[in-house]
Chains A and B, each alone.
Chain A
Amino acid sequence: MAEIKGKSPRTVIAVTDGVAIPSRRDPGLFTAWRVSFAGALLAVILLVTFKPDPYLQILKFLPDGILITFEVTILSILLALVIGLFTGLGRISRNRFINGLASVYVEVIRGIPLLVQLFYIYFALGRIVNVPPITSAVIAMAVCYGAYMGEIFRAGIESIHKGQTEAARSLGMTSVQTMRHVILPQAFKTILPPVGNEFVALLKDSSLVSILAVSDLLRRGREYAAQSFAYFETYTMVALVYLIITLFLSKLISIMEDRINAGGK
């Protein structure tokens, strides 16, 4: 999870999850990331080449699941961003009711394991409307991650100096205009790294939706294992595919961060 430090006006949001922590002593070529990524890639290639039965079959069976995993992850993160923005705004609202509502939401969600939430929302929704499992899975993931995202937005917004709001308001801008034109564009830079981090975390957690009859990567693996009894081989492959995807995404995010930090303020 993203760790949000202190309440100082310049909030620092440190990211430590999932991504290899860069060390200055890393000898150029052999960074932890490179070793893991190349290792995983090499393992897949070797297994598929020298033991196509069952590894190639497994690999051929998985792409549908990978697509579903991405679909669930992307839809969930987009929805979570929207929920998170409003939660974050609610958490800094001076309106007691709105603030209380947002705070209770964050507390409740953070206090319940994601797996329990998934079950709960899946069956609760099922009682009211008949939606496909993937829809309730996305809603459940988004409701959960929206709470964490809300804290990221809150910290990001609070990290912008009070003088910015004062300058905008003194020019006659409304609080909504100030948020939209002055605060959020600046907060975006602070928010992006932890949001990227949440994205990777959400992708991993999306494997939980396999219990809700959603044919994601993990469930496809389970289906293959159940019919072939090649449990060990299947889960080896599933783990490697997850690893390659998350490592790849982490790298992408850190490149994006560098770009943004290098760009003008």
Chain B
Amino acid sequence: MRAVNNNVMIRVRDVVKCYGELTALNNVSLNVYDGEKMVIIGPSGSGKSTLLRVLNRLETIDAGEITVDGAKVNDPATDINSVRKEIGMVFQSFNLFPHKTVLENVNLAQMVVRKRSRKEAAEISRELLKKVFISEKEDQYPTQLSGGQQQRVAIARALAMKPKVMLFDEPTSALDPETIGEVLEVMKNLARDGMTMIVVTHEMGFAREVADRIIFMDRGSIIEQGTPEHFFKNPIEERTRLFLKQIL
């Protein structure tokens, strides 16, 4: 599982993000390495989702610099769309396109962005739908699926772009307990395949099993980081201990 090498995939330098008075990210710096599985934890409002969302410029930043696979995300000269197609993102609320079938959901960006033919796209889509165990639903509409199924389709949709990094923004928080497992299973498989992953989650079991590194954030700053072993056996910071005590 530790397929991490020393190539920096994502470099975050002194990033500041404010919403009016509120500082969501306060001088955050971070490297994510090629093949690394990073899990970000922290209380709500700690800036962990914001950190994820600035990586593909769904949110702009007020200071600092972010590079993904060498491309400067916030440089106006950068074609953000070509950066984004290398960064898959999975949302808490799935955000599947409700007017399209499962297959069409996975096809769309491949055809529009990657300029693949419908046939070519469908071939890739079907393979991915098989990978997320949902092949039999390809002609259904998202509303006909359970939350867990929708989220697995959303993962397939993101993977169809053949991204170099996958971002997961609380992928299981909106799910019924009985469907969380199936989504985590898919994510674990993905980790095993060597995908670089950044996962914001409250699933500590997943963090323990999959993460190469865990980041604990609070009030816009990275408070502590380390291996799962470090985190769950002897965290140093008082705030980390407090948080883990509440959540475990």
Contact = CB atoms under 8 A, between A and B. Distances in A.
Contact of B161 (A164, A172, A185, A186): A172
B97 A170 contact: no
A64 interface: no
A170 B169 CA distance: 12
Contact of A169 (B58, B97, B108): B58
**Number of contact residues on A: which range applies?**
10 to 19
**Which of B87, B113, B142 has the most chain A CB within a 10 Å cutoff?**
B113
Interface of A: 161, 163-164, 166-174, 177, 181-182, 185-186, 264-265
**Which of B56, B95, B108, B142 has the most chain A CB within a 10 Å cutoff?**
B95
**Number of contact residues on B: which range applies?**
20 to 34
Interface in B40-93: 56, 58, 81-82, 84-85, 87-89, 91, 93
A61 B103 CA distance: 56
Contact of A170 (B82, B87, B99, B141): B87
B198 to A, nearest CB: 13
B98 interface: yes
B112 A185 contact: no
A265 B141 contact: yes
B58 A170 contact: yes
Given A168-B109, A169-B58, A265-B141, A174 B81 contact: yes
B17 interface: no
Contact of B85 (A171, A182, A264): A171
Nearest to A264: B141
Given A168-B97, A171-B157, 14 more contacts: A163-B95, A164-B95, A167-B89, A167-B97, A167-B154, A169-B58, A170-B158, A172-B161, A173-B112, A182-B97, A186-B98, A264-B141, A265-B99, A265-B141
B117 interface: no
A202 to B, nearest CB: 28
B143 interface: yes
B99 A173 contact: no
Contact of B108 (A163, A181, A264): A181
A171 B58 CA distance: 11
A161 B91 CA distance: 13
A172 B112 CA distance: 9
A182 B143 CA distance: 16
Contacts of A186: 97-99
B99 A172 contact: no
Given A177-B112, A264-B141, A172 B95 contact: no
A265 B113 CA distance: 24
A163 B143 CA distance: 15
